Structures are given as C-alpha cells and as structure tokens.
C-alpha cells in the first residue's frame, strides 16, 4: 500500500466510530489546552518582570563603579581601579560593547525668574546620548559644540518653587496620573527665559539673618535649556544633562572662587560613574564579567532579571506539570481507543495480511490513526487555549481598565513557538500512545485473526 492509501484507510477507520474518536480527540484537546494555558501564565509573569525592569532602565546597560567605591569593599586585585579616561578607553575595547558614557554628577541651585529649584546635574558626552536611549520630546539633544546648554528630564521643572510664597505645589508633583488625566502645567518654562545656575545651595533663597563670614559664594553661571527629554519613568526624568567638559570647567571655577578643594579622597575618581551599553542583552553578562575582572564593581538589571526568570521558570514547571496530567490522561485514552480498535478489527487485520500487506504497513496504519488523533486534538487544543487566553486577558483588562492586547496587564501570553511545540508534542503523544497497539496488530497471526469472530 502506498502512503495515500494508508492515510485514507486510517481516516476511514476513525470515522467508523465517530463518537469514540471525538471523545478521544476531546481528551487531547483538553490536555493540550491545559498545558498551553498553564505555561502561558508563566510566560506572562516573565514578560511582566522584564517590562517592569525595562521601565527602570535599559537591560543592556551596565553601571560601573570604582573597585572599592560606592559602599563596597573588596580584597580583589584592582580594588583601587579608578573611573577615568583610561577606564573609558578600556571599556570601549571590550568585545560586545556598543558605547561607553562617563558621568559626572553634581547638585546645583537654579533660578528662573522668581522660581528656584535644586537640580541634579549630570555631565555626559553628547556624542553617545542616542546610544543610551536619550530622546527629546521638545527641542533637541546636546551637541558637542554646546556651551552652557542643558537638556532636562521630564520632571525637572516640577522641582522649582517660589521661596517667597507659601504655595509650593510645584514641589509636590511626582508624575503620577490616572489614565486620561491631563498633566499639570510646570511652574517654569525651561526652554525659554533666562536661567542662572550656582553651586551655592542658598542661591535664590531669601537672605538669612546670619551668614558664614568665611564663606564666599561663587558667581552664578548663565545657562540655557535646549531640550526636554521624553518621559522614561526612571532617573532620567529628574536629572538635567550637560556637556561633561563644560560641567568640569564650571565645578573647577566654583572651587577656585570659594577657595575650597575636595578633601574626600586625595585620589578622587574623575567620573562619578561610567555606563557601558552592550550590543544586546545576551552579551551583557560577558561584558560585565570582563569589567569585574578589571577590578571594578559592575551591576546591571539583568542580574535581577535572572533571579526573576528562575522564579518564573520554577512556577512554569509546576504549572506545566499540572497541565501535563491532563495530557497523560488523554494519552491513556488514545491507547485505550487503539486497543479497542484492534479487538474490533482483528478479522480485518488477518484478511489484510493474507492479501499480502506488509507487516510494516499495518503498523503504519495504526500509528497514523493515533497521530491523527494527537494532531487534530493538538490543533483544536491550541485554538481553545488562545480563546481561554483572550478571555483571561479581557478579564484583567476589565478589572484594571486596560486594553487586553496592549501588552500591559496581560495574565496570559501565548507565543507562536509555544503553540507550534504544543501541536508537535500532542502528535508525538498520539504516536507513542499508539505504538503498543500497533505492535500488537502487527504481531497478530493471520490465520487466528481470520478465524476470530
């Protein structure tokens, strides 16, 4: 018999006992849907973890601190490794690194008209802003040729207040809004008007009755805003950024003007921190390990992600095992159906053998029947699982007022790979379940089978 004959006969045999075949397929449908839906809950949890961390910053970015700094102590060689230009150059040479950005942090008082605000100023290299996800909502990003230019995070304007007024609403907005709620108007326009900046923390405040006679306030610096960043929901929203070379000049001028020197550490790092951007998330661990081997402290969000993924995979394993029980029951159902089919068709099998059919063809016929049950049940099970997943997401969307398929608040996520593997797995389960009945049919004696009533 050729393959088409085998397929035709297998399908016809299943249709002889439609009710039994449908019930057997239904068992596979329920088993497949159970395991897919259970795994989809774990995938949704993993996706939620990843989205939460992504909102805190790029998963490809590694934060680098000096070997013995930032609250850490270590006895490893290289603990005195400093954050300087040599470190930046060394990091840029590591395979898998896309860009390196040194940062210089300081705190300044800024005045716009009557409004005063304390602003965290971060000096960076303008050439790598786009590599690190900086995007301007208003105006533009920094350019290497900029002098005394600033790009502000989305929330910086709400740090400003009128020190001579009792109404300090500008200091009380933290960006939390309900869906559809209009964002309040910021108290200052940072891209228009004159801005003055000073390292004197009393700058812009009402004069105090008592002043430190030994302290000489540095002259303020006139600066200008050139851009407002897109909201990122991380530290970028609260920082102002400027060319790191310009910021270093301002800090040096202020120190000379006040006669002060930084005495915290005689071997002070040139930079507060260095950020390293890997080409993709798969290269983060390798790059991070090389940086640690140089004696630096290196941290990334992927460390948290890995622990979260281990937790979600453990949960997925438990949920998958629960769903697999249903598929195991379906496999027993397939084996039972095939065994009953053999008992009912014993005489038919004997006749086929007498007519000269190959023993392997008989085995193929029964395996094909079992495979059809598994494949058909797998397809319908995946379709049912998509329907259940949609219902679960719709329920979450209605509870939280979110759109179910928008990628936010999803309770179930079925990726195409999961659906394909589920169908293949259900088919394999069918073939495995039908193997013993097929072997029994193949080993039946032709004469005894013909004599069977």
d(CA 28, CA 172): 58
Same domain, 274 and 158: yes
Contact 114, 164 (CB under 8 A): yes
Instruction: Quickly tell me which residue has 């470190």 as its tokens.
Output: 87
Joined tokens for residue 94: 């590591």
State how beta strands 61-65 and 115-124 pair: unpaired
Please report which confidence band the pLDDT of residue 141 belongs to, taking 50, 70 and 90 as the band edges: very high
Please report which confidence band the pLDDT of residue 446 belongs to, taking 50, 70 and 90 as the band edges: low
pLDDT at 276: 93
d(CA 36, CA 418): 7
d(CA 389, CA 395): 10
d(CA 426, CA 431): 9
Share of residues in the chain with pLDDT > 90 (%):
20
Same domain, 437 and 367: yes
Per-residue pLDDT reduced to its tens digit, 397-415: 777 654 434 444 678 888 8
Joined tokens for residue 168: 């300090």
CA-CA-CA-CA dihedral for 371, 372, 374, 377, to nearest 10: 170
- How are the residues of the chain apportioned to helix, strand and coil, as percentages rounded to the nearest 5? 50, 15, 35
* Mean pLDDT value across residues 53-69: 72
Judge whether 301 lies within some domain: no
The residues, any chain, with a CB within 8 Å of residue 222's CB and separated by 6 or more, are 148, 194, 195, 196, 197
Same domain, 116 and 229: yes
Judge whether 403 lies within some domain: yes
Whether pLDDT at 228 is above 70: yes
Contact 108, 295 (CB under 8 A): no
Paired strand residues for 102: 274
State how beta strands 160-161 and 61-65 pair: unpaired
Same domain, 361 and 258: no
Same domain, 39 and 76: no
SS3 per residue for 281-339: HHHHHHHHHHHHHCCCEEEEHHHHHHHHHHHHHHHHHHHHHHHHHHHHHHHHHHHHHHH
The residues, any chain, with a CB within 8 Å of residue 57's CB and separated by 6 or more, are 234, 235, 301
Judge whether 284 lies within some domain: no
d(CA 269, CA 272): 7
pLDDT at 408: 47
Judge whether 286 lies within some domain: no
Per-residue pLDDT reduced to its tens digit, 375-387: 989 999 999 999 9
Give Cα 4 distance to the centre of its chain: 47
User: Among 14, 63, 49, 135, which residue's Cα sits nearest to residue 310?
Assistant: 49
Same domain, 81 and 188: yes
Same domain, 370 and 348: yes
Paired strand residues for 414: none
Q: What is the mean pLDDT of the chain?
A: 78
pLDDT at 403: 43
Domain that holds residue 250: 61-206+216-279
Joined tokens for residue 414: 């079925």
Per-residue pLDDT reduced to its tens digit, 87-105: 999 999 999 999 999 999 9
Same domain, 49 and 121: no
Please report which confidence band the pLDDT of residue 73 belongs to, taking 50, 70 and 90 as the band edges: very low
Judge whether 288 lies within some domain: no
Whether pLDDT at 70 is above 50: no
Q: State phi, psi for 420 to the nearest 5 degrees.
A: -65, -45
Same domain, 65 and 132: yes
The total of structural domains in the chain comes to 2
Strand ranges in 39-128 using DSSP code E only, listed in sequence order: 61-65, 97-112, 115-124
């Amino acid at each position: 018999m050729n393959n088409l004959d085998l397929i035709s006969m297998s399908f016809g045999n299943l249709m002889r006992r439609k009710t039994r075949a449908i019930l057997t397929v239904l068992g596979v449908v329920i088993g497949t849907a159970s395991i897919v839906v259970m795994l989809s809950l774990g995938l949704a949890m993993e996706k939620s973890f990843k989205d939460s961390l992504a909102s805190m910053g790029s998963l490809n970015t590694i934060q680098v601190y000096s070997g013995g700094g930032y609250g850490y102590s270590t006895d490893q060689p290289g603990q005195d490794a400093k954050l300087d230009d040599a470190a930046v150059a060394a990091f840029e040479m590591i395979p898998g690194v896309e860009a390196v950005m040194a940062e210089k942090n300081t705190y300044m008082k800024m005045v716009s008209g009557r409004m005063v605000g304390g602003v965290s100023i971060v000096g960076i290299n303008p050439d790598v802003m786009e590599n690190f996800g900086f995007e301007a909502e208003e105006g533009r990003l920094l350019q290497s040729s900029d002098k005394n230019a600033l790009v502000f995070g989305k929330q910086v304007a709400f740090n400003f207040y009128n020190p001579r007024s009792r109404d300090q609403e500008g200091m009380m907005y933290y960006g939390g809004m309900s869906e559809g709620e209009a964002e309040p108007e910021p108290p200052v326009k940072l891209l228009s008007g004159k801005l003055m900046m000073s390292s004197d923390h009393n700058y812009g405040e009402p004069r105090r009755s008592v002043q430190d006679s030994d302290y000489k306030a540095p002259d303020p610096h006139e600066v200008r805003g050139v851009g407002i960043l897109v909201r990122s929901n991380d530290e970028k929203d609260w920082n102002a950024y400027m060319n790191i070379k310009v910021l270093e000049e301002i800090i040096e001028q202020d120190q000379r003007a006040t006669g002060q020197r930084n005495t915290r550490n005689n071997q002070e790092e040139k930079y507060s921190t260095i950020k390293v951007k890997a080409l993709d998330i798969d290269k983060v661990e390798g790059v991070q390990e090389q940086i640690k081997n140089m004696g630096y402290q290196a941290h990334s969000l992927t460390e948290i992600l890995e622990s979260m993924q281990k937790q979600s995979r453990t949960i997925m394993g438990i949920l998958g095992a629960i769903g697999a029980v249903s598929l195991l029951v379906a496999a027993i159902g397939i084996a039972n159906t095939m065994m009953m089919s053999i008992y009912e068709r014993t005489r038919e099998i004997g006749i086929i053998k007498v007519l000269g059919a190959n023993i392997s063809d008989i085995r193929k016929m029964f395996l094909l029947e079992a495979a059809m049950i598994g494949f058909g049940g797998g397809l319908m099970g995946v379709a049912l699982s998509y329907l259940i997943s949609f219902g679960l997401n719709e329920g979450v969307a209605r509870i939280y007022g979110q759109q179910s398929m928008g990628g936010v608040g999803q309770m179930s996520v079925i990726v195409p790979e999961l659906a394909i593997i589920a169908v293949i797995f259900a088919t394999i389960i069918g073939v495995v379940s039908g193997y013993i009945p097929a072997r029994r049919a193949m080993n039946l004696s032709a004469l005894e089978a013909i004599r069977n009533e």
